[in-house]
Amino acid sequence: MLVLGVESSCDETAAAVVRNGREMLSSVIHSQIELHATYGGVVPELASREHLSRIEPIVREALDKAGVDLSQIDAIAVTQGPGLVGSLLVGVCYAKSLALGLGIPVIGVNHIEGHVYSVVFENPPIKYPALALIVSGGHTNLFFVPEEGKYKVISRTRDDAAGEAFDKVAKMMRLGYPGGPAIETLALKGDKNKIRFTRAKISDGRPDFSFSGLKTAVARYISENPITDDQDKADLAAAFQYSVVQTLVDTMERQAQELNPGTLIVAGGVACNLALRESAEKAALRLGLPVYFPSKHLSTDNAAMIAAAGSYYLSKGEKSDLQMTADVTLRLQNIDTETNLTGKRKRYRT
Evaluate the CA torsion angle 288, 289, 294, 295 in order and state its sign.
Answer: positive
**CB 258: neighbour CB atoms within 10 A?**
11
The CATH fold assigned to 2-116+298-315 is Nucleotidyltransferase; domain 5 (3.30.420)
pLDDT at residue number 334: 58
Across-strand partners of 140? 135
pLDDT one digit per residue (tens) for the chain, 350 residues = 999 999 999 889 999 999 999 999 999 999 888 888 878 888 989 989 999 999 999 999 999 999 999 999 999 999 999 999 999 999 999 999 999 999 999 999 999 999 999 999 999 999 999 999 999 888 899 999 999 999 999 999 999 899 999 999 999 999 988 889 999 999 999 999 999 998 877 878 788 999 999 999 999 999 998 787 899 999 999 999 999 999 999 999 999 999 999 999 999 999 999 999 999 999 999 999 999 999 999 999 999 999 999 999 999 999 999 999 999 989 886 544 333 333 333 432 22
205: CB partners within 8 A, 6+ apart: none
**Short-list 5, 11, 2, CA closest to 301:** 11
Check residue 350 and give its pLDDT: 24
Name residue 18's beta-bridge partners.
3, 24
pLDDT of residue 287: 98
Buried b (16+ CB within 10 A) or exposed e, 38-62: eeebbbbebbbebbbebbeebbeeb
- Which conformational region is residue 54 in: left (phi greater than 0), alpha (psi within -120 to 50 degrees), or beta? alpha
The listed CATH number (3.40.462.10, 3.30.420.40, 3.10.129.10, 3.40.50.300) that belongs to domain 125-293: 3.30.420.40
- Enumerate the CATH 3.30.420.40 domain ranges in the chain, comma separated: 2-116+298-315, 125-293
Please count the CA atoms within 13 angstroms of the CA of 45 that sit on its side-chain side.
1
Sign of CA dihedral 191, 196, 199, 200: negative
Distance CA(258)–CA(48), nearest Å, equals 43
pLDDT at 82: 94
14 bridge partner residues: 7, 29
Q: How far apart are the C-alpha atoms of 117 and 275, rounded to whole Å?
A: 22
